[in-house]
């Protein structure tokens, strides 16, 4: 029987848990430094006591940037087997987290299987599940009903939950005053806003926040404080609604830490590149350096079908300036539920963004793979390059699609390969080309 409820409680008591030791080993850091940051709330290790298959990961400053993969069942796409194939892709490409955003039927069957098999941490948005789980219309749901769904997810083994507790009546007033182009684009946030407006009541997750924290503490669930008022287009970024909610999240962070509940802060969706760094710094200041979890940000609104790229650009800038956790975006964003190909594209784009940011931040060991790739390219060792690459399968497929005559080059340059030429000269060899005379008639 462990002598603490949560990772944060253990850290405050000076206890280095096995989860902290695993994170320290993965990050090439001292376990004591991890414990200190968990105690302060600057690092979170989402790890539900009932998630037995998890391989713990740390999220926060000085650690590698982590990525999350969204998937789940919807009313228009009920293929459980296909969603599980997406889980397999996420695990294959080393996504550190998977969020089950299922919003159709009895979602616990899929979620239970997901938690049983996944070494990645599992997140959910209980608000999505409330209507199906409770079998009531939105207007009929009571405050205590929402908490029942949270407890059900916690018991199943969910490691972190997005809870939109910051969209209280004060934040809603700011949102209404400052007219938006896109209004509310958060699914969970819009449902809570609708419930509040229809009932006239305060946000139940805000009004009963202490009771919510008691549930999360019991199972060591990390609260991911959702950004219900995140901007859904460039024109809405950094407005009164977004900032008002962020201020509320800062206060809620401290209240969670007082109960030894770990915290993530969720951040903006659409935002111009020149605003990103300032928003990262503002979150860290207002939310007391809690780990920051961002969706994108998407740096332009005009690229449907390519939003994995707009997101990767914003994610790289965000993570280089303080964000700690990137939520992937697929090419299907804004268009449809992503298929397997979309999921892979989204994972790889997000992985590239996270890795590029880690290099920029000087994270320990971040450039090791890049150095290995440079050495493999210097030797023109294609097999080694494929093994090192983030997506070696795609790299091999491209290389083999137009095979070169000489395996010591690729089909773009052939024997005029700069690496081959330089290597031969430095080895004291001649560089010779077969001259082909074109027929001219």
Does 128 show up as a binding residue in the annotation?
A: yes
* pLDDT above 80: residue 434: no
Domain count, the chain: 2
What's the rounded Cα separation, in Å, for the pair 11 and 305? 44
Would you say residue 54 lies in a domain?
yes
Residue 67, domain CATH: 3.20.20.540
What's the rounded Cα separation, in Å, for the pair 230 and 186? 7
Residue 98 Cα distances to 43, 114, 330, angstroms = 19, 9, 14
Would you say residue 185 lies in a domain?
yes
Does 413 show up as a binding residue in the annotation?
A: yes
Average pLDDT over residues 133-143: 88
Does 230 show up as a binding residue in the annotation?
A: yes
The 3-class secondary structure across 255-282, one letter per residue, is: HHHHCCCCEEEEECCECCHHHHHHHHHH
* pLDDT above 60: residue 381: yes
Does 432 show up as a binding residue in the annotation?
A: no
What is the tens place of the pLDDT at every residue in 103-135?
Answer: 766 688 889 999 999 999 999 999 988 877 787
Residues 101 and 57 in one domain: yes
Would you say residue 96 lies in a domain?
yes
Would you say residue 81 lies in a domain?
yes
Does 342 show up as a binding residue in the annotation?
A: no
Across 234-347, where does the E strand assignment appear?
A: 263-267, 292-295, 325-327
- Residue 6, pLDDT score: 98
Residues 113 and 196 in one domain: yes
Long-range contacts of 137-146 (CB under 8 A, 24+ apart): 138/191, 138/194, 138/195, 138/198, 139/195, 139/198, 139/199, 141/195, 143/201, 143/204, 143/207, 143/208, 144/208, 146/204, 146/205
Does 407 show up as a binding residue in the annotation?
A: no
Q: Where does a domain end: 315, 339, 361?
A: 361
What's the rounded Cα separation, in Å, for the pair 34 and 11? 9
Would you say residue 137 lies in a domain?
yes
What's the rounded Cα separation, in Å, for the pair 351 and 355? 6
What's the rounded Cα separation, in Å, for the pair 47 and 60? 15
Does 397 show up as a binding residue in the annotation?
A: no
Does 28 show up as a binding residue in the annotation?
A: no
What's the rounded Cα separation, in Å, for the pair 148 and 154? 10
Residues 330 and 198 in one domain: yes
Residues 215 and 109 in one domain: yes
What is the tens place of the pLDDT at every residue in 234-282?
Answer: 999 999 999 999 999 999 999 999 999 999 999 999 999 999 999 999 9
- Residue 107, pLDDT score: 80
Residues 349 and 265 in one domain: yes
What share of the chain has pLDDT > 90, as a percent? Answer: 86
Does 164 show up as a binding residue in the annotation?
A: yes
Does 47 show up as a binding residue in the annotation?
A: no
What is the tens place of the pLDDT at every residue in 17-54?
Answer: 999 999 999 999 999 999 999 999 999 999 999 999 99
- Residue 407, pLDDT score: 74
Would you say residue 435 lies in a domain?
no
Average pLDDT over residues 137-143: 93
Residue 298 Cα distances to 5, 97, 124, 224, 270, angstroms = 38, 20, 22, 20, 5
* pLDDT above 60: residue 179: yes
- Which structural domain range is residue 75 located in? 7-361
Kindly report the average pLDDT of the chain as a whole number: 94
Does 408 show up as a binding residue in the annotation?
A: no
- Confidence at 102, pLDDT banded by 50, 70, 90: confident
Contact 365, 28 (CB under 8 A): yes
Average pLDDT over residues 281-292: 98
Sign of the Cα pseudo-torsion (318, 323, 326, 332, in order): negative
Helices (H) and strands (E) in the chain, counts: 19, 10
What's the rounded Cα separation, in Å, for the pair 30 and 37? 11
- Residue 226 phi/psi, 5° resolution? -75, 150
* pLDDT above 90: residue 352: yes
Q: Where does a domain end: 332, 361, 390?
A: 361
Does 296 show up as a binding residue in the annotation?
A: no
Residues 309 and 411 in one domain: no
Residues 354 and 391 in one domain: no
What's the rounded Cα separation, in Å, for the pair 55 and 47? 9
Global pTM? 0.94
Would you say residue 439 lies in a domain?
no
Does 293 show up as a binding residue in the annotation?
A: yes
* pLDDT above 80: residue 406: no
Question: Element (H or E) spanning 419, and its range?
Answer: helix 418-426
Q: Which of 57-61, 106-110, 287-291, 340-344 has the lowest mean pLDDT?
A: 106-110
Does 116 show up as a binding residue in the annotation?
A: no
Strands 59-60 and 292-295: unpaired
């Amino acid at each position: 029987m462990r002598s603490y409820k949560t990772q944060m409680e253990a850290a405050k008591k000076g206890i280095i848990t096995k989860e902290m030791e695993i994170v320290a080993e993965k990050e090439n850091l001292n376990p004591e430094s991890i414990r200190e940051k968990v105690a302060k709330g600057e690092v979170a290790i989402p790890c539900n006591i009932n998630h037995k298959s998890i391989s713990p990961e740390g999220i926060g400053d000085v650690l590698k940037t982590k990525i999350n993969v969204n998937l789940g069942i919807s009313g228009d796409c009920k293929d459980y087997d296909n969603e599980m194939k997406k889980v397999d892709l996420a695990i294959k490409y080393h996504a550190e987290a998977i969020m089950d955003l299922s919003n159709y039927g009895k979602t616990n069957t899929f979620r239970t299987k997901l938690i049983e098999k996944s070494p990645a941490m599992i997140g959910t948005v209980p608000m999505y599940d409330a209507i199906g789980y409770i079998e009531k219309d939105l207007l009929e749901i009571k405050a205590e009903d929402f908490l029942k769904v949270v407890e059900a997810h916690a018991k199943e083994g969910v490691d972190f939950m997005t809870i939109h507790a910051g969209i209280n009546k004060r934040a809603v007033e700011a949102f209404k005053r400052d007219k938006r182009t896109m209004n509310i684009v958060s699914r969970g946030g819009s449902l809570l806003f609708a419930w509040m407006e229809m009932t006239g009541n305060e946000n139940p997750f805000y009004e009963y926040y202490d009771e919510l924290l008691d549930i999360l503490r019991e199972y060591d669930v990390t609260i991911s404080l959702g950004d219900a008022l995140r901007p859904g287009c460039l024109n809405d970024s950094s407005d009164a609604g977004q900032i008002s909610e962020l201020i509320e999240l800062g206060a809620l962070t401290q209240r969670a830490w007082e109960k030894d509940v770990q915290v993530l802060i969720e951040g903006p969706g659409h935002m111009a590149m020149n605003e990103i760094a300032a928003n990262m710094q503002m979150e860290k200041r207002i939310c007391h350096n809690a780990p920051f979890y961002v969706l994108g940000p998407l740096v332009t609104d005009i690229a449907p079908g390519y939003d994995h790229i707009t997101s990767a650009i914003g994610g790289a800038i965000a993570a280089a300036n303080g964000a700690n956790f990137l939520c992937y975006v697929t090419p299907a964003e804004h268009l449809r539920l992503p298929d397997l190909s979309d999921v892979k594209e989204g994972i790889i784009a997000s992985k590239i963004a996270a890795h590029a940011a880690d290099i920029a931040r000087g994270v320990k060991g971040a450039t090791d793979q890049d150095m290995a790739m440079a050495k493999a390219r210097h030797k023109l060792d294609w097999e080694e390059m494929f093994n090192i690459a983030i997506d070696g399968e795609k790299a091999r497929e491209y290389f083999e699609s137009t095979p070169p005559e000489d395996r010591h080059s690729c089909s773009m340059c052939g024997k005029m390969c700069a690496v081959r030429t330089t290597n031969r000269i430095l080895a004291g060899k001649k560089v010779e080309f077969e001259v082909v005379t074109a027929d001219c008639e």
